[in-house]
Structure 1
Amino acid sequence: MPERPAHLGPEACAEWDRVTAILESQRIITKADRAALAAFCVAYGRWVEAELKVREQGMIVRSPKQGTPIQNPYLSIANNAMAQAMKMAPEFGMTPSSRSRLQSYPGYSSAEKVPESPVSKYLTVLPGGRR
């Protein structure tokens, strides 16, 4: 498993720990993935931090100069960071559709046989894959 980069903030660190545990258990991640995963975690951490500011301040704030209502600048930061994170998420199988296309690293066979249920020999497969 890659070592967590020192430059990650608290939210990014928490996401790194969460995601690497999952990816390691699925045998998806290698040391070569460190930079890409760090970029995902930085974007995720930035998204969370900006969302907290939006929740605290609201989506509309007062302009510092004129005092007129404007969109909270943190909303743009949150939206951009979320878009960056979601662009990288499929690379690690973090979306439902991307998981089906993900392959584990060499040395692990994703085609390993899953033990058959004792009940399965009594089930008949119908046309269309239904039982």
Structure 2
Amino acid sequence: MAGNGNSGRPGLPASVHLLNGNRSKRSPAELLNEIKDPALPAAVPPMPDFLSGDAAAEWTRITGALLALGWVSRLDQMALATYCQAYGDWLRFQRLIAERNAKSDDGLGGEVQTFKTGAQQTHVLRQLANDAEKRANAAGAQFGLSPLARRNMRAAPAAQGDLFPNAERDAAAKYFN
């Protein structure tokens, strides 16, 4: 059976090709151009209007950092909205659990649900909070929002600008561009 677009190893970024000694058949100039001009420019997508207040606040909080790192583009609206809404849901459920815990005698009103028969189970609010946490962690990993996810991500080089004159660079640009 022939493979499809999902079979085989995923392609490597140009920077990895160069770091590994360029065992690929691509020219070094082509790889350098791919690094300098990414396929998708970094840009913040428009914030969806359906986000809750907490989710919109999280969108505003993280988009600046993601943009500075070059980890977000206009195509990432759904993934970013998914993370922000899951984070907003998690905050809401955590607040509700804290309120129920404060009102209960044993302090577990939002953690444990007791039925008339005496049976106990994890309270539905705790289950919803745990689900929102899982969704936020899964969607946030796409943007490097955990230490483990950041380990495998590389930030785009920050533009330094021309702070100082650089005669060597200017001379090389005359002959090699």
Q: Does 1:99 align with 2:150?
A: yes
Deviations 1:27-79 (A, max 9, x none): 2111000000001111111111001101110223555xx49665321110000
Corresponding residue for residue 27 of structure 1: 70
Aligned to 2:139: 88
In the alignment, what sits opposite 1:15? 58
Aligned residue among 60, 66, 70 for 2:112? 60
Q: Structure 1: which amino acid aligns with 2:87?
A: Y
Structural RMSD (CA): 2.2
Contact 2:97–2:126 (8 Å) recurs in 1: yes
What residue ranges of structure 2 are gaps of 5+ in the alignment?
1-43, 102-110, 161-177
Give the gaps of 5 or more residues in structure 1.
Answer: 114-131
Structure with bigger RCO (C-alpha 8 Å, 6+ apart): 1
- Residues 24 and 56 of structure 1: CA distance in aligned 2, closer, same or farther (over 3 Å): same
Letter in structure 1 aligned against 2:112: I
Equivalent-residue separation in structure 2 for 1:6 and 1:111 (angstroms): 31
CA distance, structure 1, for counterparts of residue 154 and residue 49 of structure 2:
28
SS in 2 for 1:92: coil
Moved more, 79-88 or 68-77: 68-77
Matching residue's letter, 1:60: V
Q: Work out the number of aligned pairs and report it.
A: 107
How does the TM-score come out when normalised to structure 1? 0.71
Q: Percent identity?
A: 27
* Structure 1 contact 54–72 (Cα < 8 Å) conserved: no
What's the TM-score, normalizing by structure 2?
Answer: 0.54
Q: Which AA in structure 2 matches 1:101?
A: N
Contact 2:68–2:158 (Cα < 8 Å) also in 1: no
